[in-house]
Amino acid sequence: MGTYLMCLLLALGQTSGETGGAPRAEVGFDAAGVERCIQDYLEGTSQGRPAQIERAFLATAGLQFVAEGKPKRRTLQQYLSYFKEGVAHDRKGRLVSADITGNACMAKVEIVMRGRRYTDYLLLLKVEDGWRIAEKIFFAPEQAER
């Protein structure tokens, strides 16, 4: 995943022509830090490691989704309560894309679990101790392709 992410992020950062006044991507952006944060999230949720999951998020982070046509929100602590230490989940995740500008990042992650394909959109911020997920929204269709 590391090589794929690095190539993707380098491609995103190598824009040419006019940017319409938007800031240009910096050569020194921290793609490895984004990858570490997302790996903490994916590994922690897969392996049942609440502390590793928590490390990936800001304390103020929330999770938003739609259930029965209505928006729902969970706090980070509510989300962490779904995971028990050492109880692994049949959950396979991968980073699809990431877009970094300065200290902000938007990442798309796909997770297949119990025959369902979830799509997570993660908003990350780079704070004093590294990249952290500030907000997560997700979509889960009825049934994923197998």
Which tens digit of pLDDT belongs to each residue from 106-124?
999 999 998 889 999 999 9
pLDDT digits (tens, 9 = 90+) for 122-137: 999 999 999 999 999 9
pLDDT value at residue 8 = 45
> How would you list the strands of the sheet with 104-113, edge to edge?
70-75, 57-67, 130-139, 116-127, 104-113, 91-101
User: What is the C-alpha separation between 2 and 62, in angstroms, rounded?
Assistant: 27
Residue with the bigger pLDDT between 76 and 14: it is 76
Structure tokens at 23: 């800031």
Tell me what the mean pLDDT of segment 31-45 comes to.
96
Name the pTM for this structure: 0.78
pLDDT digits (tens, 9 = 90+) for 44-90: 999 999 999 999 999 999 999 998 889 999 999 999 999 999 999 98
pLDDT value at residue 9 = 46
Cβ-based neighbours of 28, under 8 Å, separated by 6 or more: none
**DSSP assignment letter at 138:** E
User: What is the C-alpha separation between 25 and 130, in angstroms, rounded?
Assistant: 18
pLDDT digits (tens, 9 = 90+) for 77-93: 999 999 999 999 989 99
Structure tokens at 15: 């824009």
Place of tokens 């050492």: 86
Question: Mind listing the domains of the chain with CATH numbers?
Answer: 2-12+28-139 (3.10.450.50)
